[in-house]
Structure 1
Amino acid sequence: MRKVIFAEYGGPDVLQLADTDTPHAGPHEVRIAVRAAGVNAADWRLREGQFSAGQPIELPVGVGLEASGVVDEIGEGVTGVELGDHVFGMGSETYAEHAVLSSWARMPDGLTFETAAGYTSVGEASLRILDQVGVEPGQTLLVSGASGGVGSTVLQIAEDRGISVIGTASADNLDYLRSLGATATTYGDGWVERVTALGTIDAALDLAGSGVIPQLVELTGDPDRVLSIADLSAPEHGVRLSLVPGPVQEALDVIVELISRGALHTPVEQSYTLAEAASAHVDSQAGHSRGRRIMVP
């Protein structure tokens, strides 16, 4: 089968499309014929070697951590799923024609493979960080870098919970944020003053890693009320850096429920073929997206 791999750390050019052995589902896993795979910041951070100190890996290695597809192999001990089921979930090396998932859920009716592919990681992350930052219904949450996949999802879950959101993004994405229920303003010079004019901030999330942690602490008045998923220097400011997923299966159950009742829809901005993986990483690193980027075998 075809799979995107890299044999050395580096820029997008180290990605290769290779012929490899098809993986098999182990105990408590399923294998899918991949129909689409999500593109995430963790993918290019892994490719650059940012995780190599804490998570050493043996190269070459595949890329991708989530996908949607059709179940074509079921591992020992797995129940509640059948061959041919349409599922989405979390796994490994998902930029491929086949991949193994360790957590999964059946796709809700009406959901396409392309859209389903991008829900697991951003849904889990959004649920995790909203809980960790401790924002409550009736309070106001500031989301820095709000238009991407996690931001789009955070905005919708927060609205569903009765949390007011102020989101920052580029000028081109302000109407998009408003369509998701947020009060929107631009980042850049004067953004702190613009946010202050919109109201009191009870908690803040940094999703872009654009060096705004000190300002977010200033706006909330408490580093414990700020959380980042993108700025590796956050702990230097007393701010929590949240990178480790929580219980993915529990998150999938919530994601399916939100999708099924129309409370969550994260759009796909752009799709790429496996041969275009390098371009997908370039675009992902550039940011400024609306929703998700996905890989289609």
Structure 2
Amino acid sequence: MSRLGGAKSWRDRQAKIHAYLEPRPEFKILNAIVQQPHESAAQQSLPDAVQQIVDLAPARIPGDDALGDQIYALSLCVLEVVERTDDPMRLRWLVEFLQQLRKVALTDDSGQPVRSCDSLVYTELGGFGPVFADTLGSFDPLDSDILPEDEKAWENLSVFFAQLTGTSTADCTNWSLWSLTAFHYAFVEPRGPGNAVSNLPTPIAVRAACIWFLYAGEVLWSNVQTGFNFGKVPKGEQPDFNREKWNAWRQRLMEYQSRFTDGRTKKFIEDALAEIKRVEGKGH
């Protein structure tokens, strides 16, 4: 999917969304977290940030769309701040924000728990999942002409969701399904210019796969050990996470060590292989 004729980048194509989000208080609250000068200041800001978000929730009337609209905007604001953050190490502050937000259980005027998309608000991050999934599914890391700003945004999103997966056991924060998508792009379906079959994926596809090992390696290895599957395993088939796949992922990264020449991608590969070795050593 080469961008010929001056076509816009992935980020540019979201310009209308950006214009909608920037004036919103949710965006300003979240952006202030990652703008804190250091981690201790960010951690101290989180309780107030959570309370400010909760205070923005409209009247909790059953069947009223206002709360759903606010959750939709909040979900988009989380992702927008993630994509814009210069230092990916600061993304863990947003992960911690969501973990603290999940301690808040909204109730309606009758005292009943409030749900969105069949999940509790905010305990199960009700309403967040569809927005997060839509964004993750909108980017093609095998695009042959990805711009640097898009690569940066995608790396940030990968770090954020891998960290979210690696720091909690709750179903609503388990995004390891998307690690399988990242591995498919990096290890199974490499494409070259014009979507032609290629021996190598794009560097960003490889780095995104490495990010999942780096930030959620223990969760992924646990998934492999338990034979974790999303849904029921079809008869005669392997679960989504299994030893054969894990070994193939490791082997492909080892092959990539000598085939990628840019230092940054090579460093990601080396670090991912080291993390794979570390988690494998913790148990079999």
Q: Same fold (TM over 0.5)?
A: no
In the superposition, the TM-score normalised over structure 2's length comes to: 0.31
Q: Which has the higher contact order (CA 8 A, sep 6+)?
A: 1
**Structure with the higher helix share, 1 or 2:** 2
